[in-house]
Amino acid sequence: MSIHTTARRGVLIALTVCIVVALGFIGWRVYRHNPAYAHDYQDSFAAGKADEWTAFGGTWELANGIMRNESDERGAKLIAGSPYWRNYSIEADISLLGQGDAGLVIRSGKEEEGVDAYSGYYSGIRTPDNTLVLGRAEHGWREITKRVSFPGGIHPFERYHLKLLAYDCQIVAALSSVVHPSPESIAITDPNCTVSGRIGLRSYRSGGTWSNVVVRPAENGDLMAMLRNETDRGVRAPGNPPQFNSALTSTLASLSAPPPANTPAESIENLHLAFLAAPAQASIRGVVILNSSLLFVQDSTGGAYVKPRGSPALKVGDEVEVTGTVRPGMFSSVIDDASVRLLWEGIPMAPVSVTASQASTGKFDATFIEVQGRLTAKERGPENTLILDLEDGGQSFRAVMNPGRSAYLFDKLKVGSRLSLRGVCVVDSAFTNNLTPFVLLLRSSEDVRVLAGPPWWTTTHVIALLSALLLLTLAGVFAYHRVENWRLRAVLAERERLAHEMHDTLAQSFAGIGFQLQAITNNLSRQETAIHQQLELASNLVRHSHEEARRSIAMLHPESLESEDPFTALEHFARRLVQGSSVQVIAERTGEIRPIPLRVSDTLFRVGQESIANSLRHAHPTMLKIKLNYEPTSATLQVEDNGSGFDTSKANHGFGIRGMRRRAQAVLGSLHVHSTPGQGTLIEVSAPLPPRVTLITWPKLLWNFLMESWTHARPSKLSNSHSYRG
């Protein structure tokens, strides 16, 4: 197979692969743009997974199969789904964690952090006026229809089932509960409607919980059923209330319990100073900064770890009054057996930005801080907690996240990344285990922000780069040698074609001319002596030219290199030339015989051919010696005769010697000529051979190859070595 055929085949294969990949990508895009794409969806909250959801504000966390937003941030959103969904419905079980509203978003797009910073439709339950609301957000809020009051009102910590449907430009919402299973509906028709978009969970001025989120394709029949205020086939009866409702009675009692008499409120900083001697009762007022598993409260002077009685249903940002037994620590205080009373709902406190070195001093113990660090390791701890090891300016510390939605971020974080973290700083050995100066307790995955990815020049990447460069170099070397072999074979094929052409034209013409001259000689009378002499001279010239043509054909013909090594091929060539004469041919081979690359083999053979032919033509030897010596890194060919020789200092540069030298230089070899008048001539050509590759020698061999290739690529002058006439 020719080089051009192979190249064309490679190009066709590459084009075919590109076309298949392009068609596959186009098909995938068409499928994604199809309005019916992935309309059937059900959350994986029960399995502890929420990787497909993206938060825009809020403090979203997944626990016990329920998605929970602990923040009172206005307009916090959690978005999922495809921007190409069109006619579909979304339904979920929802409960409020305070006074405000929470609900579902449909056909959402252009989401950003901020109040109503999205484009789409929202329906939710609202406590201040006990209503079901429905409206449109376009980076601003617009209620398109009147609100609908829900029988019995909307109460925090109670579960409601909300369904929101979009069909063409008609949007319908329906709300039901365990106490009132008959849904209350509200509908709008928006002439300039948003025709497609994603789904979302949203809260406003209150935290909330969402579970059993289901999305289904919607048809006109589903729309009509909701408009008739009928129970839809797809609406599931609300299940059991959330787990926190089981403790709701005791929680509300704890929240509403008045503080003990004669216990004035203290600042948190004073607790550490006033109760160093012995534990005592005290009361504080502050803002909740952490309530996931552990409860921390902070005021303007510091923070404290609270161990409450029961399980208060609080949110981050709530203003509370805590009364209990104060147990001073080294840097902050712990309030044991505490009663917690909700004073009012508020917004989350902003963190104090500090360095890791400042946090390690203990000054910010039990307070909400923001710190930066480089991720050095990550692992899963007890109860599947997520642990991040970080360092900043030589100061190491740890950050701990609860499992759930944070697991998605945990898996994506790369060691070496620069992170900004917000959380509660604790220096107590009960949290640090004396491994780091402090630990940062994170509220949710939204408290972690990636500032920069890991640096590229890591040890792993450098090794990978060097390995890739090595593989590319080896592939390039292999490709180079393959191309050289293909080129040389093409040259040999062309030589063989020329040899056949010369044999069929020039050599046969000489034979024909000689035959005709002999015929003319035979027909002339013996008296024509002068003509006979001229014809004899012409016949000798034709015969000599015929022999020269045969010699040229023999040198062009590559049959010897196809099946033989250069030594055997030269021996056969020399014996054919001296056949019938008294010239003795001696062939000798030394060293460890090994394969010779085709290009080097051709060079040795051609130089040897030219040397043998010149020796027989000009030196008239009686002995011709051919010797090939194999060395570890080279092969040396010697052609020696005992002919007349010549003076190398007076010889002109002939065509033959120049051609042999160029051939030797083409394979990074060298040519030497040694001759003395009356004592014969020695032609020596040496060419490098690729050494054997081992695990120890390959780096050196690779370097030598690159340096030799560079040297060979640079222009060089011809050597001034002596030559003899070719």
The CATH number assigned to the domain with range 248-344 reads 2.40.50.140
User: How far apart are alpha carbons 82 and 98 in whole angstroms?
Assistant: 31
The verdict on pTM exceeding 0.95 is: no
- Which is it for strands 395-401 and 439-441: parallel, antiparallel or unpaired? parallel
In this prediction, residue 243 has a pLDDT band, given cuts at 50, 70 and 90, of very low
| Cβ atoms 634, 688 nearer than 8 A | yes
Region 528-551: what's the mean pLDDT? 77
Q: What CA–CA distances, in Å, run from 502 to 508, 558, 563?
A: 8, 14, 23
pLDDT at 29: 62
Which helix (H) or strand (E) segment is 53 a member of?
none
Q: Specify burial of residue 26 (Cβ count, 10 A radius: 0-12, 13-18, 19+).
A: exposed
CB atoms within 10 A of CB 697: 12
CB atoms within 10 A of CB 554: 16
* Token representation of residue 159: 């579960």
Which distant-in-sequence residues (6+ apart) come within 8 Å of 643 by Cβ?
615, 618, 619, 620, 621, 680, 681
| Cβ atoms 202, 120 nearer than 8 A | no
In this prediction, residue 274 has a pLDDT band, given cuts at 50, 70 and 90, of low
How are the residues of the chain apportioned to helix, strand and coil, as percentages rounded to the nearest 5? 35, 30, 35
In this prediction, residue 500 has a pLDDT band, given cuts at 50, 70 and 90, of confident
pLDDT at 122: 94
Q: Specify burial of residue 533 (Cβ count, 10 A radius: 0-12, 13-18, 19+).
A: exposed
Region 298-311: what's the mean pLDDT? 90
Domain chopping of the chain, boundaries? 1-33, 41-241, 248-344, 352-452, 456-557, 561-726
* Token representation of residue 225: 């059923």
| Per-residue pLDDT tens digits for 17-54 | 778 887 877 776 655 544 445 467 888 888 888 888 99
Share of the chain above pLDDT 70, in %: 82
In this prediction, residue 682 has a pLDDT band, given cuts at 50, 70 and 90, of very high
* Token representation of residue 613: 């032919």
pLDDT at 161: 95
CB atoms within 10 A of CB 43: 22
| Cβ atoms 154, 137 nearer than 8 A | no
First to last CA, the chain: 37
Q: Specify burial of residue 505 (Cβ count, 10 A radius: 0-12, 13-18, 19+).
A: exposed
| Per-residue pLDDT tens digits for 77-122 | 999 998 989 999 999 999 998 888 999 999 999 998 888 889 999 9
pLDDT at 217: 92
- pLDDT of 364 > 60? The answer is yes
pLDDT at 6: 53
Q: What is the DSSP string of 396-457?
A: EEEEEE-SSTHHHHHHH--TT-EEEEEEEEE--HHHHTTSSS-EEE-SSGGGEEEEE---S-
- pLDDT of 287 > 50? The answer is yes
Query: Which residue did the predictor score with more confidence, 653 or 180?
Result: 180
Same fold for the pair 248-344 and 561-726: no
In this prediction, residue 218 has a pLDDT band, given cuts at 50, 70 and 90, of very high
Least confident of 310-319, 428-437, 555-564: 555-564
Query: CATH says 561-726 is which class?
Result: alpha beta
Secondary structure string (H, E, C) spanning 226-261: HHCCCCCCCCCCCCCCCHHHHHHHHHHHHHHCCCCC
User: How confident is the prediction for the chain on average, in pLDDT?
Assistant: 80
User: How far apart are alpha carbons 692 and 630 in whole angstroms?
Assistant: 13
Query: Which residue did the predictor score with more confidence, 636 or 633?
Result: 636
Q: Specify burial of residue 624 (Cβ count, 10 A radius: 0-12, 13-18, 19+).
A: buried
| Cβ atoms 214, 234 nearer than 8 A | yes
pLDDT at 61: 87
Closest listed residue to residue 410, CA positions, set 440, 444, 461, 456 = 444
Measured torsion, CA atoms of residues 21, 26, 32, 36, in degrees rounded to the nearest 10: -120
The CATH number assigned to the domain with range 352-452 reads 2.40.50.140
Region 469-478: what's the mean pLDDT? 85
- pLDDT of 615 > 90? The answer is no
Query: CATH says 41-241 is which class?
Result: mainly beta
User: How far apart are alpha carbons 497 and 494 in whole angstroms?
Assistant: 5
| Per-residue pLDDT tens digits for 418-469 | 999 999 999 988 888 888 889 999 988 888 999 998 887 777 778 888 888 8
User: How far apart are alpha carbons 397 and 393 in whole angstroms?
Assistant: 11
pLDDT at 698: 63
pLDDT at 244: 32
CB atoms within 10 A of CB 544: 11
What is the phi/psi pair of residue 57, to 5°?
Answer: 85, 175
Region 522-547: what's the mean pLDDT? 78
User: How far apart are alpha carbons 329 and 334 in whole angstroms?
Assistant: 7
